[in-house]
Amino acid sequence: MILETYIVNMGLSQGRFSYAIAAGLILSLLSFGLFSGANAISRKLTNTSLY
């Protein structure tokens, strides 16, 4: 939540749009990696997964 606020602040108020887009993309990739890792752990431990 704090990181998203920082990204919006950098992009909108300071006009660093490319920086904000890059930071948002990195945050999205990190979130996807954490989600995939949690799903893999769940699959190994409980044989239940989302996909």
CA angle 40, 1, 45 (to 5 degrees): 15
Amino acid at 13: S
Name the one residue in this structure whose structure tokens are 């300071």: 14
Question: Using one digit for the tens of pLDDT, what is the confidence trace for 17-28?
Answer: 888 889 889 999
Find the radius of gyration of the CA atoms of the chain.
16
Block means of pLDDT (10 residues each) for the chain, length 51 residues? 83 87 92 96 93 81
Give the pLDDT confidence score for residue 26 in this predicted structure.
93
